Structure 1
Amino acid sequence: MNQAKQHPTAIRLTRRFRAPRRRVFDAWLDPGLAGRWLFATATRPMAHVEIDARVGGRFRLAEQRNGASTEHFGQYVEIVPPRRLVFTLREQRHATRVTVEINPRRRGCELRLHHENLPPERTQDAEARWSGMLYGLGVMLASRPGQTQDPE
């Protein structure tokens, strides 16, 4: 049987936040902040967070669920505070690439996320997961007065 080869795909998401772009950028690299929303859920923050926030540095976030541990890890490719972050993300035996761009707006900032080299069967799940994480980022940012996520 002849099967067509499936090519990797990409997703793009855009979110607006009323928080200053520096605070949004820092939320990606500060272990105390990242563990509250990056790969976390509202009821389950990360159990362990390691972030070496430099180009070539690595990160590892681990969660515990029902006695099992799941790890999310990768390496920073580009860090340009407070506007751009590029990193690899390892998923099983497959490496993907995530680019985050944060642009200033009159009130806050706009975050654009591009996750590429995804296996086609993982695209919908990855988009849903990033949507949830960015929602969690907005909730975390709103924990400070006057810093909320704008509705789309």
Structure 2
Amino acid sequence: MRDIAAAPDRVFNAWLDPAQARRFLFATPDGEMLACDIDARVGGVALIVERRGDREAHHHLRFEEIDRPHRLVFQFRACMAGQTDQGEWTRVTIAIAPTDNGSRLTLTHEGVWTDYEKQTRQGWTMILGNLADTVENSND
């Protein structure tokens, strides 16, 4: 859960707008964002690619539910370019509720392997921090 000082529609739209999403979605401090393609419709897909050192991290999304500005549900998997194992699909649910100071975002990630729970939690914590910076400090 993360409180964000921005209206729910602004927070929600950032997830589906490539110009904003490339600033926070799977972006790491030392990485270089190479692609952020989003087909923002139910059944649509997204591909976010970031260069991390000499490798490329590919993040795939398939949108299952888009209920603006309250709820976003997508299938998710990630892999490094060139891997033969493309990773298993998991499900991410984003719920956004209005608060007196903006929004409360609750993220649920189902299907994460036990061995990856800690790093997955750290990753989403970083992403939500970057999301807050993106929507609180920009005029998009």
Same fold (TM over 0.5): yes
Q: Which residue pairs with 2:102 in the alignment?
A: 108
Q: Which residue pairs with 1:121 in the alignment?
A: 115
Structure-2 change in CA distance of 1:90 and 1:56 (3 Å): same
Asked whether the equivalents of residues 62 and 70 of structure 1 are also in contact (C-alpha less than 8 Å), the reply is: yes
* TM-score, L = length of structure 1: 0.82
Aligned residues: 132
For the pair shown, the structure with the greater C-alpha radius of gyration is 1
| Structure 2 stretches lacking a partner, 5+ long | 79-85
SS of match in other structure, 2:94: strand
Task: Quote the sequence identity (%).
Answer: 38
Asked whether the equivalents of residues 42 and 136 of structure 1 are also in contact (C-alpha less than 8 Å), the reply is: no
1:25-104 counterparts in 2 under 5 A?
A: 25-44=12-31, 46-91=33-78, 92-104=86-98
Task: Find 2:8's aligned residue among 10, 21, 24.
Answer: 21
In structure 2, distance between residues paired with 1:94 and 1:19: 33
1:143 positional shift? 1.5
Query: Which structure 1 residue ranges, 4+ long, deviate > 6 Å from structure 2?
Result: none
Task: Find 1:142's aligned residue among 122, 136, 140.
Answer: 136
> How big is each residue's C-alpha offset from its partner over 1:52-109, in whole Å with a ceiling of 9 and x where there is no partner?
0000000000011223211000200000001100000013331100000000112201
Comparing both chains, which one has the higher relative contact order based on Cα–Cα distances under 8 Å and sequence gaps of 6 or more?
1
1:44 positional shift? 3.3
| Structure 1 stretches lacking a partner, 5+ long | 1-13, 146-152
